[in-house]
Structure 1
Amino acid sequence: MVLNSRNNIDIFPDTFEGFSDFSFVNAFSTSIFLITYIFGVMGDISIITVIIKDHQIYTPMYFFLKNLSFLDMHYTPVTMPKAIVNAILGSKDISFTECMAQLYLFFTMAATAMAYDNCMAIYRPLFYGVIMTRNLYWEPVSTSWIFGALCYIFHAVNTFSLPFCGPNVIDHFFCDIPPVMRLSCADYQVNEELIFIYSSCIILGASGLTVVFHICIISTIIQTNHVQGHWKAFSTCSSYLANGLLFYGTGISMYLRPISNYFPIRGRLAAIFYSIITPTLNPVIYCMRNTEMNAALKKMCHQIQRKN
C-alpha cells in the first residue's frame, strides 16, 4: 500500500467536528450514544456467552449468530469509543494513520456484517438443518472475513492517496469517505466515480440478496400449513428485513450520491443509523423474540443467581 503518507501526515486534517456543531447537542448525543453502545456490547456478550455455554442450541443458526455478535462487538468500537472519549475530554485529535486504520476497519467489519446477515437469512429458516454440518460452518465465516479484509483495501487507498493541503476539520464524528475526501486539495472526481461504482456493486448487491432471501423465506412460510405461526413468522422476518434495509438504505444515501452534495448534518444522521443503531438492534431482533434464546438467557441468569 503506497500512500503520500509523509506529506499527508504533516498536513492531514487532524480534528473532528463531533456529533454536532452545538456543544449542548454534542453533550446530549454523547450520553445517549454511550448508553446505546454499552447496551449493545452487553447484549452481544450475553449472546456469545449463552451460545458457548448452552450446547443444546449449538446449531448452524446460533453459530452464525455468535459470530455476528462477535463482529458487532468490534464493528461499533472502531468508531464509537474514539468519538465518545473525544467528546467527553473535549479533544478532537486524530492522526493520519489512525484515521486511515479507522476507515479501513470500519468498512471491513461492515462488509463482513453484510455477509453474516445473508448467512443468517439463508440458514436460519430454510436449509441449515438439511445441508449444514459442523465441518461446513467455517466456510461461509472464513469467506466473509476474507472478503471483508480484501474488499475495502481499495477504499482506503483510493481515499488516502489524495493530497491534503491544509489543517481542516473533518465534519463528522469519525473518518468516513465523503467528509475526508472533501478536504482534499486535488480534483477527486475520478476517485469519487470509482467509489460510486465499487460501492454500488457491494451495497446494492448485498441489499438485493437480502431482499431475495427474505422473499424466499416468506414464500416458504406461506406454503406451510401452520396458520397460527404465520403471523409470528412474518413479524420476525419483517424485523430482520427492516433492520437490514435501514442499514443498507442509510449506507446508500451516504455513499451512492456525489460527494459534492454531502451535507454534514445529513451525513451524521445517516452514519448514526448504520454505525450505531442497526448493530445495537441486532441482539434485540435476533434474540429477544427467539424462544430458544430467551430460555437459554433465563437459564444462565438463574445459574448466576444460584452462584451468588
Structure 2
Amino acid sequence: MGAENITSVTEFILVGLSNNRETQILLFVVFLIMYSATIVGNLLIIILVRVDSCLHTPMYFFLTHLSGVEICFVTTTGPQMLAHLVSGNGAISFTRCAAQMYATTCLGCTECLLLSAMAYDRCLAICSPLVYAAVMSKKHQWQLTSASWAVGFLLAAVNVTCTISLPFCGTNHINHFFCEQPVVFKYACIESRYTAPVIFMVSTLILVGPFSVILISYGLILYSVFQMQSRVGRRKAISTCTSHLVVVTLFYGTLIFMYMRPGVDAADDRDKQTAVFYIVVTPILNPIIYSLRNKEIHKAMAKVLRRPGFEEQT
C-alpha cells in the first residue's frame, strides 16, 4: 500500500448510536438530561463533603475525588456526543480524537485505582479499627489519590501513544459514539508486532491489579464481619460496603468486557452499547447509589437546607 494512502486519514466519522433522525433527537434529550443530572449529582456530593465537617473522613475524601473523576469523564464525551446528535454529523479530527482517547483512558484508569483505594480504606476501617486513624492519615489519603492520578496519566499515555503511532489508511467511519482507544485501534491498517500485546498488557494491568485489591479487601472484610458478635456491627459494616460493591460491579463488569478481549477484529454494536453503561449510566448512578442509603449524606443535605441563607432564598 502506498504511503499516500497510509497517511490519508485526517479525520474520523463517528457513526453514533443511531442514523435515524428522530431517534437522534430523542437520544439528545435523554442524554442531555442524564448529563446534567450527572454533573449536578456529583457536584452536590463534592459540595456537601466540603461544607460539612462531619464528612471530613477518608471515605468521603476518596468519594469527592471519585465524583470529580466522574464529572471530568462525562464532560470529555458528553458535550461532543450531544453536538453530534443535534447536527447529525459525527466528524472529528484525528487530533481531537487522540485527545479524547487520552482523556477518557486516563480518567478510566484513575477511577479503577480510586475504587481500589476506597476498598482498601473500608478494609482498614473494618478489619483494623484501632490503627485506622493512624494509618489512613491525611498524608496517606493524598498519597493514594495522587498515585491514582499519576498512574492513570502514565498508563493512558502508553496505550494511546501505541494507538496513534499506527497508520490509519482504510475507512474513517468508526462504529462508535466517541473515540475509545480499543475501538479506534481496530481501524488501524498496519499492526506493529508489539503494539497489541503492549496495549493488552497495560489494559490487563490496570483492570486486574486494582480489581485484585478490591477482591482481597472485601474477602478480608467478609471474614471480619462474620467474626463480629454484634448484629448491629455486622449490619453497619455491610451497609458501608454495599454501595461501593454496586459501583465496582457496574464499572468493572463493562470495562472488562470491552478491554480484555484480544483477537476481536472489527468493532460492532456491542462495543458502543457496552460503553453507554460506563460512560453515561455509571456516572449518574454513583451519586444516587452513594447517597440513597447513606444517613450521613442525608444529614449533611438537611443541614444545608436548614441554613439561614438557603431558607431566605427559598
What TM-score, normalized by structure 1, do the two folds share?
0.89
Aligned residues: 303
Structure 2 residue aligned with 1:237: 241
Does the residue aligned with 2:211 lie in a helix, a strand or coil?
Answer: helix
When structure 1 is superposed on structure 2, of 113-122 and 216-225 the one drifting more is 216-225
Letter in 2 for 1:206: P
Distance in 2 (alpha carbons) for counterparts of 1:181 and 1:248: 21
Structure 2 residue aligned with 1:3: none
What is the aligned counterpart of 1:195 among 169, 183, 199? 199
Change (3 A) 1:21 1:214: farther
Contact 2:7–2:167 (CA<8 Å) still a contact in 1? no
Distance in 2 (alpha carbons) for counterparts of 1:252 and 1:57: 32
- 1:123-142 equivalences under 5 Å are 123-124=121-122, 126-127=124-125, 128-142=132-146
When structure 1 is superposed on structure 2, of 248-257 and 6-15 the one drifting more is 6-15
Structure 2 residue aligned with 1:54: 52
What is the aligned counterpart of 1:36 among 11, 34, 38? 34
Distance in 2 (alpha carbons) for counterparts of 1:284 and 1:211: 23
Change (3 A) 1:81 1:57: same
Q: Does 1:180 align with 2:176?
A: no
Distance in 2 (alpha carbons) for counterparts of 1:302 and 1:189: 63
Structure 2 residue aligned with 1:288: 292
In the TM superposition, residue 289 of structure 1 has moved relative to its aligned partner by: 1.6
Contact 1:16–1:171 (CA<8 Å) still a contact in 2? yes
Point out where structure 1 has 5 or more consecutive residues left out of the alignment. 1-5
Contact 1:13–1:170 (CA<8 Å) still a contact in 2? no
Distance in 1 (alpha carbons) for counterparts of 2:24 and 2:78: 14
Counting aligned pairs with the same residue, the percent is: 33
In the TM superposition, residue 141 of structure 1 has moved relative to its aligned partner by: 1.3
In the TM superposition, residue 279 of structure 1 has moved relative to its aligned partner by: 2.0
In the TM superposition, residue 183 of structure 1 has moved relative to its aligned partner by: 2.0
Contact 2:13–2:174 (CA<8 Å) still a contact in 1? yes
Contact 1:108–1:152 (CA<8 Å) still a contact in 2? yes
Does the residue aligned with 1:186 lie in a helix, a strand or coil?
Answer: coil
- 1:215-230 equivalences under 5 Å are 215-228=219-232, 230=234
Structure 2 residue aligned with 1:15: 13
Contact 1:13–1:164 (CA<8 Å) still a contact in 2? no
Does the residue aligned with 1:15 lie in a helix, a strand or coil?
Answer: strand
Q: Does 1:206 align with 2:200?
A: no
Distance in 2 (alpha carbons) for counterparts of 1:140 and 1:236: 20
Does the residue aligned with 1:205 lie in a helix, a strand or coil?
Answer: helix
Structure 1 residue aligned with 2:23: 25
Distance in 2 (alpha carbons) for counterparts of 1:98 and 1:174: 11
In the TM superposition, residue 105 of structure 1 has moved relative to its aligned partner by: 0.9
Contact 1:163–1:185 (CA<8 Å) still a contact in 2? yes
When structure 1 is superposed on structure 2, of 184-193 and 81-90 the one drifting more is 184-193
Structure 2 residue aligned with 1:147: 151
Distance in 1 (alpha carbons) for counterparts of 2:102 and 2:281: 20
Contact 1:158–1:191 (CA<8 Å) still a contact in 2? yes
Change (3 A) 1:24 1:215: farther
Q: Does 1:75 align with 2:81?
A: no
Change (3 A) 1:189 1:174: farther
Distance in 2 (alpha carbons) for counterparts of 1:84 and 1:9: 29
In the TM superposition, residue 75 of structure 1 has moved relative to its aligned partner by: 1.3
Change (3 A) 1:234 1:181: same
Does the residue aligned with 1:175 lie in a helix, a strand or coil?
Answer: coil
Q: For each residue in 1:235-286, what CA deviation from the matched residue of structure 2 results, as whole angstroms up to 9, or x when unmatched?
A: 5534422321221121111121135344421001111112222222221222
Contact 1:104–1:153 (CA<8 Å) still a contact in 2? yes
In the TM superposition, residue 228 of structure 1 has moved relative to its aligned partner by: 3.7
Contact 2:175–2:267 (CA<8 Å) still a contact in 1? no
What is the aligned counterpart of 2:160 among 131, 138, 156? 156
Does the residue aligned with 1:78 lie in a helix, a strand or coil?
Answer: helix
When structure 1 is superposed on structure 2, of 6-15 and 206-215 the one drifting more is 6-15
- 1:92-107 equivalences under 5 Å are 92-107=90-105
When structure 1 is superposed on structure 2, of 202-211 and 185-194 the one drifting more is 185-194
Structure 2 residue aligned with 1:89: 87
Does the residue aligned with 2:92 lie in a helix, a strand or coil?
Answer: coil
Q: Does 1:109 align with 2:113?
A: no
Structure 2 residue aligned with 1:298: 302
In the TM superposition, residue 135 of structure 1 has moved relative to its aligned partner by: 3.1
Root mean square deviation of aligned Cα: 2.4
In the TM superposition, residue 134 of structure 1 has moved relative to its aligned partner by: 2.4
